[in-house]
Amino acid sequence: MRAPRALWVPFELGRPLGAPDEPAFQRRVLTEALSLLVSTEGPVVLEDFLDDAPGPKAEDSTGWVCPVSFPPPPSEDEGPVVALMGEIDALAPWYQASMDRRGRTLVGVSGMTPRDAARYMVSFLDDEPMERPDNAKPTVQTFKDAFTDLMAYYSEAGTAQPGRRSSRETQSWFWHETAAGRILLELRAKLMAGSDKKLQFVATKILLPKTQGG
Amino acid sequence: MARMEDFVETEQEHMRSLPLNEFESMPWAEGPSLSERRVAIVTSAGLSLRGEEAFGLGAADYRVIPSTTNSGDILMNHVSVNFDRTGFQDDVNIVFPIDRLKEMAADGEIGSVADFHYSFMGATDPALLEDSARALAGMLREDKVNAVILTPV
């Protein structure tokens, strides 16, 4: 892009207005950006917004820990579906607490419940994955949408309580402290080694964040 | 856009490898004062309305978000996982500052807020978005918009 007027901001990716629930700060950013419209110093105006956003930075350690107590992991014989369902059920009251506090949820992209989204994804560990719930959608789209919903469910439930935390901490919690994270890493390895090029792409590029080794 | 040094090394490499598109012209334009501006949001955050089709890999289309949309009906389905979503979980204004614009209009800082706003999915090669961008420009004109805030994700 080559926008004629741009305000460079130092905030982490995904937060172009700086910080959530900081209306005064967001308005400052917006006012500075829109003020560039009255500049007559073209053909390009690029200004810097130098103040950091309020709150922890992406890589900060705040001491945040997820308060959810998960059931003990099932035995090897019971398999990944049992582990995931137990975890999703344990998160349910926290997810509801998130809905109560935030008044909204980002779950709803796939049209599946979190349990069904998880079951669908885990089926790719088998040689014959489950049939798509909506056959009009390509497999890779169904897979991506199920993943988006599962991530949203975990992230909202895990952060249901207000408080300081950094985005890197919540990512690390999901990928390193949950059964879902462990199973998705296993699934990622399987899909990367598989023959379906589109699923290989999804596994390589859009499952694991680069901050977590993706 | 964050500082390059805030990215992990692999993300820095990725950012540096992205091509910079060439443009033949520079669309500089001047207009009325801020208090006479009608402002729309165009974001690349991959936002859609609940019930709409999600963005797919390489999506070059866009979704329309009316100003009156309840924040609970706005979903994020960007294909990239390399940005923070927890901020958007807490507050839609972090990428879609609709409440801030409404406050600015109420205070007279801007003229008005557009009736419609738009979202692309920012992991698509921008060169593929030109047709959609031209169509969207026509819709902005119909809505009497004379200022756009682009929020990149």
Could you tell me which residues come within 8 angstroms of residue A83 by beta carbon, excluding any fewer than 6 positions away? A73, A74, A179, A183
Q: In this predicted structure, what is the pLDDT of residue A74?
A: 74
To probe the interface with B, which of A8, A22, A27 has the most B CB atoms within 10 Å? A27
A79 has pLDDT over 90: no
User: Closest Cα to residue A147, out of B85, B97, B40?
Assistant: B85
B95 vs A14: CB contact, 8 Å cut-off? yes
Token pair of A12 as six digits: 């982490």
Q: Which residue has the tokens 């589109």?
A: A198
Q: In this predicted structure, what is the pLDDT of residue A78?
A: 80
Give chain B positions within 8 Å (CB) of A151: 81, 85
A17 vs B103: CB contact, 8 Å cut-off? no
Q: Chain A window 160-189: which residues touch B at a Cβ cutoff of 8 Å?
A: 165, 167, 170
To probe the interface with B, which of A106, A155, A200 has the most B CB atoms within 10 Å? A106
Q: In this predicted structure, what is the pLDDT of residue A34?
A: 97
What residue ranges do the domains of chain A occupy? 5-48, 76-212
| Residue A2: φ, ψ to 5° | -140, 65
Whole-number percent of chain A with pLDDT over 90: 80
Confidence of residue A2 (pLDDT cuts 50, 70, 90): confident
A55 has pLDDT over 70: yes
**Environment class of A37 (CB within 10 Å of its CB; exposed 0-12, middle 13-18, buried 19+):** buried
Q: Which residue has the tokens 């829109």?
A: A34
Token pair of A213 as six digits: 């080794």
**Alpha-carbon distance B121 to B53, whole Å?**
13
Whole-number percent of chain B with pLDDT over 70: 99
B26 vs A4: CB contact, 8 Å cut-off? yes
Give chain A positions within 8 Å (CB) of B45: 14
Per-residue pLDDT reduced to its tens digit, B24-54: 887 899 999 999 999 999 999 999 999 999 9
**Alpha-carbon distance A182 to A188, whole Å?**
10
First to last CA, chain A: 26
Give chain A positions within 8 Å (CB) of B110: 34
- Decide if A122 contacts A80 (C-beta within 8 A): yes
B88 has pLDDT over 90: yes
More confident: B5 or A155: A155
Q: Is omega for the bond preceding A43 within 30 degrees of 0, making it cis?
A: yes
- Decide if B135 contacts B144 (C-beta within 8 A): no
CA distance B117 to chain A (A): 16
B57 vs A144: CB contact, 8 Å cut-off? yes
Give chain A positions within 8 Å (CB) of B28: 4, 42-44
Whole-number percent of chain B with pLDDT over 90: 79
**Alpha-carbon distance A129 to A121, whole Å?**
8
The yes/no answer to whether this complex scores an ipTM above 0.85 is yes
Residue in A40, A102, A167 closest to B84 by CB: A167
Q: Is B58 left (phi over 0), alpha (psi -120 to 50) or beta?
A: left
**Alpha-carbon distance A183 to A57, whole Å?**
28
- Over the Cα atoms of chain B, what is R_g? 16
Longest dimension (CA), chain A: 70
Give chain B positions within 8 Å (CB) of A198: 57
Q: How far is CA A70 from CA A52, A74, A98, A170, A179, in A?
A: 36, 11, 17, 16, 9
To probe the interface with A, which of B15, B24, B44, B75 has the most A CB atoms within 10 Å? B75
**Alpha-carbon distance A204 to A18, whole Å?**
29
**Alpha-carbon distance B118 to A128, whole Å?**
39
A108 touches chain B (CB under 8 A): yes
B30 vs A40: CB contact, 8 Å cut-off? yes
Q: In this predicted structure, what is the pLDDT of residue B21?
A: 77
- Decide if B39 contacts B102 (C-beta within 8 A): no
